[in-house]
Structure 1
Amino acid sequence: MQTTNQTWARPRVDAGPARSVDAGRFLPVETLTGWQQALDDRGLRATGSAAHADYIGDLARRLSEAGVPDVALEAVPMRRWSARRWGLRLAGPDSGAEVAVVSPVAYSGRTGADGVTGPLSPEPRTGAIGVVDITLPAFTAGDFDALDYGPSALAAAEPAYAPDQPYERVWLAHDQMRAELARFAAAGAAGLILVIDLPEEELGGGYLLYDGVHRTVPALFVGRESGRRLHEAARREMKVKLTLVADAAEVDTHNIVGIIPGASDELVVLQSHTDGSNGLEDNGCEAILAMAHYLARLPRQELPRSVLVLLSTGHFATEEAWGLEAFLERHREDLVPRTAAALCLEHLGALVAPAGCSDHVPGVTYEFGACFATPHPAVVDSMRSALVRAQVTEPRVLRPFVPHSSGSSPDGTTWPGDGGPFWHTAGLPAANFITGPGYLLNVEPVMDRIDVAALRRQAIAFTEAVLELAAVPWHELRGQASRAADGPSEGEPR
């Protein structure tokens, strides 16, 4: 393994591009199942934690063993936050009565070992401990289909699919969580309890609000039943004792970078993030390892461009993909100008939530998913084809739609996925496959909710997409972003 001062080789030979993946030479389901189980067994890998660092080291070793030369670790400094102990008890007539807690609010404030005690209040008050409800924003599948570059839900893979299918996920409520934390902090509250309108068992110790903003108000998440109990206690003007013992430290976390040499020094980037909460969030790195194992064994002349593998840190420590942002800044003068296109993969093989969960859809096998893609026809077409071949989610390819305030995005937009900075920071042609089931952020085993055979089909299909993008002429990707399908905004990548 190389140090961070790696000088990247620039091979140039005549190219005779590969057109498809030989599935018989791709790693088998049995191998990928072992990898996936090992990842799920790791549990929470909070950014910068010892568990996260251990996984990064393991991935770097395995990437080298897969045949990727000159794998490098690149340090990214951060202020890590770690919760050590937390709890919630009612005071007064029910003194000492324990209240079930889902999890601490990541990056919230902290208490001493004895906690803080104050009156429960649904409104911000100095010295009080707030209790407020967090509702799940209501979207439907049709809201996402409206963003598709082509007709809505093209060739739907799921017979039970319907555009009015509800799409309500706890991670969609992060903005409301931030607003409540800011409101109670401004009032001088001693603490805050955020009540999520879901059963506690469905939340599975969720690692939520991982935006890396170190706040002063200690805060905890509870589920629906505990919330009802606390609201009743507030009406009775009872007090509560909130404990959240946590610490913060300046540490280095690391991106992993390696390049599979192709027939030119131009690059296609293959990226996912290493921090996560369980075996689904994020198993993109495991899929990319399998893809790298295949690509590294191709004759160099069959790979028209080199493939840069980037397994980045920082997804669980920022409002945006902070590890990817660090990579783009570090390499804006060398690797970024050589990049023709980029592909981010997240949460592969996800099954729909089990019966009884709020986001279960009867008759549907796989979790709702999509590829976000920049307005480049070659990118849109390659993603659509990959989704059709994989036969897991509907072949939904969506425009970037989230306004980005920095002004660096070619069209002023980005998307909600770790790969967004490829577009909104570097202006690169890019795509991002992602699913977001309700159990995505649960700190619990989720192996029974992952179809490894489906993950393998997706990995093979996206490997073929990499081969397709490696053969697209440079001017069709890094020239002016041309009008795709029904004509999104044009922009010129840097």
Structure 2
Amino acid sequence: MNILTRILTAILLSVPCSGWAGEGWPGSALSAEDAMTVRADQFVSADQHRDWQVDLDQRGLRAAGSTAHEAYIDVLRERLIKAGIPNVYEEPVTLKKWEVGKWSLEVIGNADTDTDTDVITLPTASFVPYSGGTPQDGVRGRLELVQSDNDFNGDKLKGNVALIPLSKPKTTLEVFAEAAFSLYGFGQYPASARPYERTYFSTSQMAKKLDALKQAGAIGAVFILDEPASNALGLYAPYDGESRGVPALYVDKNVGHTLLTLAERGFDVRLMVDAKIRSVNSRNLIGVIPGASDELIVLNSHTDGPNGIEDNGPNVIVAMAQYLSRLPREALPRSVMVLLTTGHFAGAQGGQAFVDAHLDDETLGKIAALLCLEHLGAEEWVQGPGGRWMPTGKAEPYVFFMPNIPALIAAAKDAVNRADSAPTIIRGPTRPQGGGYFHDHVWPGEGQVFWGRVRIPTANYIAGPNYLFNWGISTADKVDYQRLQRETMAFTEMTLRLARTPMGQLREFAE
């Protein structure tokens, strides 16, 4: 049964849904008036959102296609059914899964010494995903400092282990605000005066660096993060799903200082990364809330991630679904599809797979708009005394990416105002000519696939807190649950508004 048949069947066979009544889950049927202005008392409780966030933290790293990831997909399926979507199904996706066991970094001694006397094990922050694996006993080579791109040329790195310091660009929110359609919550404090320095910015060129190391003949690499151990722990980037064949590790700035001294003195290191990449079967989750027609508004987020903030979008969409599923069908001019994609941390393969699967049917043409929600309720944490991240007491800045479609921008402005989502920048693509693929993206976010590849009108709400890519850390203490609830209600209203907006207006692109 193809997707359109499923939608039509759901519409024809649907009956009014009273939802599931339970602790924190309202269950009464809603009226047509409730589709115009949502009722705050008819959403899951803040305590329920907190419980979901704690649950995500406890699952740890949900690497694409891993056991932890697939178990979470099963949980989300049950939550969607509980939210009033009985017709939840799965579409298969084949992923390149990064599997890692142990990893280590040892200092062996002077490079001219063949013996392994005085071996010292140094602490590491993390492995570099998809970098490459070593034999069980690792690889040994001279530690060679890379100070410029010229060091990738010649024989300096051949057969050796590269040591590469990474630095964070000094940026402000002007990097996003300079092409904004709208700014919310900036007041007298302009974007150009708001520092926006994030640890993961230093990893933006990692794929290119690993490719250059492979070309130079390096047998391994150590990347020094400009962060103390607490901030560097568990960084998971890059995640394009492509093996580079150069096993690599991250270390914090203190260990990095030691390694810089050892490199000057000509020491050898042994680097071990017990890892491989293999193809595995995963799945996208799809559910349909029947409306008055088979046209669609899509709610999208991804299911894999390193921690609870990356990504809590699916749980917010569950909360939205339990409201939308209790509205009368005639109050939904369009049906609502929930699309929870897999493989974001393997090159965004879930979104790509959905597009590929439906290029030859009518599904993509039925989608009037897509709303992608990521990293909701995030609080801002920045470096404090000693360099450790500390809360500022403010919300993490958000960027709402979308094409220049007036009806979409107007709906986004109202949603941001309804959520009191300050500060938020509503803006167009960062790379307008991007093709919608991982290394040819239109903007940073799962939703860019759908605009970049097939021009589905897409709005992608996303934040990039410092802790976004770190596995093994708590995020439940870094979420403002009152803001998260406001976002849930605001985006439910936005979904209903888009369901009422004529298709022609959603296809009206302003040059």
Letter paired with 2:314: C
Q: Distance in 2 between matches of 1:65 and 1:3?
A: 24
* Alignment partners' CA distance in 2, 1:362 and 1:219: 31
Q: Any unmatched runs of 5+ in structure 1?
A: 484-488, 490-494
Distance 2:301 2:495 in 1: 14
Equivalent residue number for residue 272 of structure 1? 301
2:174 maps to which of 125, 138, 142? 142
8 A contact 1:36–1:283 mirrored in 2:
yes
Deviation at 1:260, TM superposition (A): 0.4
| Aligned residue runs from structure 1 range 322-341, under 5 A | 322-332=349-359, 333-341=361-369
AA paired with 2:356?
E
Deviations 1:44-70 (A, max 9, x none): 100010110100111111111111131
Q: Closer, same or farther in 2 for the Cα pair 1:429/1:193, shift >3 Å?
A: same
Given candidates 117, 123, 134, the residue that maps to 1:111 is: 134
Paired residue type of 1:21 = V
Offset of 1:95 from its aligned partner?
Answer: 2.8
What SS does the corresponding residue of 1:258 show, helix, strand or coil? Answer: strand
| Paired residue type of 1:429 | P
- Shift of residue 315, structure 1, vs aligned partner: 0.6
* Structure 1 segment 425-440 matched on structure 2, within 5 A: 425-440=453-468
1:334 Cα deviation (Å)? 2.7
Spell out the pairing of 1:217-366 with structure 2 (5 A cutoff).
217-318=246-347, 321-332=348-359, 333-353=361-381, 356=384, 364-366=393-395
Q: Unpaired segments of 5 or more residues in structure 2?
A: 15-30, 111-116, 147-151
Among 10, 24, 38, the alignment partner of 1:21 is: 38
Per the alignment, in what secondary structure is the counterpart of residue 310 of structure 2? coil
- Residues 397-426 of structure 1 deviation map (CA, whole Å, 9 limit, x = unaligned): 111121545499xxx972111100111111
| Letter of the 1:70 counterpart | N
Distance 1:114 1:6, change over 3 A: farther
- SS of 1:269's equivalent in the other structure is strand
In structure 2, what is the Cα distance between the partners aligned to 1:354 and 1:58?
A: 33
1:35 CA drift (Å): 1.4
Kindly provide the CA deviation profile for residues 425-452 of structure 1, in whole angstroms up to 9, marking residues without a partner as x.
1101110000001101111222111112
Question: CA contact under 8 A between 1:345 and 1:434: conserved in structure 2?
Answer: yes
Normalization by structure 1: what TM-score? Answer: 0.90
Match of 1:48 in 2: 65
Q: Deviations over 1:254-302 (max 9, x none)?
A: 1000110011111000000000011100000010000011100111111
Q: CA deviation at 1:126?
A: 1.1
* Secondary structure in 2 matching 1:365: strand
The alpha-carbon deviation at position 392 of structure 1 amounts to 2.9
Q: Amino acid of the residue matched to residue 343 of structure 2?
A: G
Q: 1:122 to 1:184 in 2, by over 3 A?
A: same
Change (3 A) 1:9 1:199: same
Asked whether the 8 Å contact 1:40–1:447 carries over to 2, the reply is yes
CA distance in 2: counterparts of 1:16 and 1:375, whole angstroms:
31
AA matched with 1:427? R
Percent of pairs identical after alignment?
39
Given candidates 84, 87, 101, the residue that maps to 1:70 is: 87
Amino acid at match of 1:280: I
Provide the rounded CA distance (Å) in 1 between the counterparts of 2:413 and 2:421.
Answer: 12
Residue 131 (structure 1) aligned with residue 163 (structure 2): yes
Q: Do the aligned residues in 1 keep the contact of 2:291 with 2:329 (CA within 8 Å)?
A: yes
In 2 relative to 1, CA 241–445 (structure 1 residues): closer, same or farther, beyond 3 Å?
A: same
Deviations 1:171-206 (A, max 9, x none): 323332122211211111110011111112112311
Question: In the alignment, what sits opposite 1:9?
Answer: 8
Matched, 1:445 2:445: no
C-alpha distance in 2 between matches for 1:88 and 1:289: 43
Q: Provide, for residues 319-357 of structure 1, a one-character-per-residue CA deviation record: whole Å limited to 9, x for no partner.
A: xx3211111121232321100000000000101116628
What SS does the aligned partner of 1:382 have? helix
Which residue identity is paired with 2:161? I
Aligned to 1:121: 144
Measure, in 1, the Cα distance between the counterparts of 2:174 and 2:496: 31
Hey, what does 2:442 align to over in structure 1? 414
- The letter of the residue matching 1:8 is I
Distance 1:326 1:29 in 2: 34
Residues 85 and 258 (structure 1), Cα distance of their counterparts in 2 relative to 1, 3 Å cut? same
- d(CA) in 1 for partners of 2:281 and 2:346? 13
TM-score, structure 2 length as denominator?
0.87
For 2:284 and 2:391, locate their aligned partners in 1 and report how far apart those are by CA, in whole Å: 40
Aligned equivalent of 1:92: 109
Q: Work out which of the residue numbers 203, 210, 213 in structure 1 matches 2:242.
A: 213
Q: Distance in 1 between the 2:134 and 2:91 partners?
A: 34
Aligned residues: 472
CA distance in structure 2 between the aligned counterparts of 1:212 and 1:324, rounded to whole angstroms: 14
Distance 1:421 1:359, change over 3 A: farther
Which residue identity is paired with 2:448? G
Relative to structure 1, the CA distance from residue 399 to residue 4 in structure 2 (aligned partners, 3 Å threshold; closer, same or farther) is closer
CA distance in 2, matches of 1:474, 1:49: 39
Letter in 2 for 1:95: D
